[in-house]
Amino acid sequence: MALYAIGDLHLAYQSEVKAPMQRSGRIWQNHEAKLKKYCEAYMKLEDTLVLVGDHSWGKKLAQCEKDLAYIEALPGRKILTRGNHDMFWNAKKTKRLNALYRGRLHFLQNNFYSYHDYALVGTKGVTFEGPFYLNRRGQILGWDEKAEAHAEKLLRRETARLRASFEAARAAGYKKFIVFLHYPPTNILETESAFTRIAEAYNAEQVIYAHCHGEARFNDSLHGEFHGIGYHLVSGDYLKWRPKRIL
């Protein structure tokens, strides 16, 4: 039995929308087939795969059904967290989504899933992404304060959701935790954040995140051990579509 993670599939079986990188980037050519091949090669039916957001370009559930069917057909138990592009998933209606896909897909929001004696907890997260204002040397001189104020509001909501996930697991008796976020836990200006502090407060062992695409973005946040917790980026293009073994 093993636990794997990957994120940012950005599937488009029912959508014309694609990011520029998906149209031209070599790593994105036929990425659905690559991921399927690697999952089928590495994973067994008793394994768990956590998909950490940005599943589909579809805006409504009806426009995502083929994308979700693709995920459903991958081997093992599939657990999904929300990404910034997952418009089909209203966080407040997660119970409805879980009822609709019962036994097929598992949506992680204000709840948790168990894996052996671990609780898998998570939420979308949020990191302030600017715009940052740079000088000619590329040094950051300032940033958009209105956008920062909005990010602060989202931060309060997302940290509350992460705590709710931890508390649900703790109430069920779990003491070991793996955290799944879509956004990186820190932005390019931060060395720590509300998310790293929550992970530390609950003694989480690992924090898994995605959202960082393209080589220029891969080092925007934490990699490896920080304050005793392992931080791992699992965006699909970073992993070259090979799901990362977590446990």
User: Which residues of this chain interact with Fe ion, rule CB under 5 A?
Assistant: 54, 83-84, 211
The least CB distance from residue 129 to Fe ion, in Å, is 10
The least CB distance from residue 137 to Fe ion, in Å, is 29
The least CB distance from residue 78 to Fe ion, in Å, is 18
* Distance in angstroms (rounded) separating the CA atoms of residues 223 and 238: 12
The least CB distance from residue 21 to Fe ion, in Å, is 12
Q: Which residues contact 243 (CB under 8 A, 6 or more apart)?
A: 4, 5, 6, 35, 38, 39, 42, 43, 49, 234
Residue type, 239: L
Nearer CB in complex with Fe ion: 77/211? 211
According to DSSP, the residues that pair with 51 across neighbouring strands are 6, 80
User: What are the strands of the beta sheet with 3-6, ordered from one edge?
Assistant: 106-107, 77-81, 48-52, 3-6, 244-245
Nearer CB in complex with Fe ion: 47/54? 54
The residue with its CB nearest to Fe ion is 211
The least CB distance from residue 235 to Fe ion, in Å, is 8
The least CB distance from residue 84 to Fe ion, in Å, is 5
Q: DSSP labels for 8-60? A: ---B-TT-S---HHHHH-GGGTTHHHHHHHHHHHH--TT-EEEEES--BS-SS
Nearer CB in complex with Fe ion: 57/174? 57
Q: Which of 180, 178, 190, 121 is nearest to 151 (CA)?
A: 190
User: Could you tell me the end-to-end alpha-carbon distance of the chain, in angstroms, rounded to an integer?
Assistant: 9
Nearer CB in complex with Fe ion: 77/82? 82
Nearer CB in complex with Fe ion: 59/170? 59
Q: Which of 77, 12, 83, 87 is nearest to 45 (CA)?
A: 77
Nearer CB in complex with Fe ion: 82/106? 82
